[in-house]
Structure 1
Amino acid sequence: MNFSKSGWISLSVATVASLTLGVEAASAQLSATGMSCNVANLTGTTDCEGIFSGNDSNTITTETSLFGKTGWTELFKVDNSSGTTGPLTVKLNEAREETSGTWELSEDFNFDSYESVMFVLKGGNSFTSYLSDGETMAGDWNTNDALKGNGRRGAGLSHFTVWTTGTGNDNDEPTPTPVPEPAALLGLGSVALASRFLRRKSDEV
């Protein structure tokens, strides 16, 4: 079987495209550990999904569906058990214990800028996602939804990430006020002039 150079190029492009789509599809699929999460482990949230194996930063894509939504984008990440990145600050309750602490978003962060916000806590070789209630700016966290290498809960926090999807109400552009066309302005001027002329005639009678 003979292939022309253009045939090989077409085949190569198709192969690369197929492999790319395959990788994206695989990335969009989260690997469940079979263990459930508890929304009480992160205050200011209304739902949770997980526990998943792996790392959210290289697993979640815009195609990943979480809480019935896709298009998730990583916004801020404290890539440690404590620290500050952008408006997000994460602290530990005990310096030597990386399993519980507090989190806070500064006033620079506006929930209304996004359709939905979720927090992801990663520890060990696992992570859990929590859906924000869209108003709480600070709270407590623990890693009871993070698995150690032996499969037990309570791994130390590796990172705390803020993910968002969509745009909120404050991104809605105001409806522009229509500007009258020149012809319309001329017509209005003529009506006003005629009305004034008739009023003057009426006064003279």
Structure 2
Amino acid sequence: MDVSIACEGAFAGNNENQDLSGLFNVSNWTQYAKVDGDSGTSNGLTVNGGGTSSTWSLTGIDFNSFDIMAILKGGPTFSAYLLDSAGLNWNTDGILKGNYKPGPGLSHFTIYTSAKTPQPVPEPLTILGTGLALGLGGLFKSKQKQKLEG
């Protein structure tokens, strides 16, 4: 995955009958799109065939609002990839065949999403109050230092 920022796996079994909570420290993954086999289109996900590698793209998703995970399943295992953008190349090197060697044919390519939790933004008055307190503290400290030296 050329656009992944993290990878977890290979995991034994099928992602569809496992609890994916906790992957990449996210607890509420929801399936968004799935392409069975190594080519097809579903809900903005396009996977181009190639057996063990090719290209893919994803449209219609805001990467700023959602955590996005791709799962590639092949053989008896699957691997998960946390994405920071969509598209480019895929391969099955991160999943294992029945003989536990990398590179089985792709069974399915699935996209999961989770709404990002908005980060709290400090209120302007809180920032102003903190800055004022730090400034007054520094001023008081320098006046105390001048008294002691003078």
2:115 is equivalent to residue 166 of structure 1: yes
Aligned to 1:129: 80
Higher strand share: 2
Alignment match, 2:41: 84
User: TM-score if structure 1 supplies the norm length?
Assistant: 0.54
- How does the TM-score come out when normalised to structure 2? 0.73
For the pair shown, the structure with the greater C-alpha radius of gyration is 1
Offset at residue 168 of structure 1 (A):
6.5
Shift of 1:167: 4.2
Kept after mapping to 2: 8 A contact 1:146/1:155: yes
Which residue of the partner structure matches residue 186 of structure 1? none
Whole-Å separation in 2 of the counterparts to 1:59 and 1:143: 20
Count of equivalent residues: 118
Partner of 1:55: 14
Higher helix share: 1
The RMSD of aligned alpha carbons is 1.5
- Following superposition, which runs of at least 4 residues in structure 1 exceed 3 angstroms of deviation? none
Native 8 Å contact 2:32 2:43 kept in 1: no
1:72 aligns with 29
What is the deviation of 1:152?
Answer: 1.0
Q: 1:110 aligns with which of 32, 50, 62?
A: 62
> Any unmatched runs of 5+ in structure 2?
119-150
Percent sequence identity over aligned pairs: 43
Question: Deviation per CA, 1:114-139, whole angstroms, max 9, x where unpaired?
Answer: 2x111100001100000111xx2211
Q: Which stretches in structure 1 are left out of the alignment for 5+ residues?
A: 1-41, 170-205
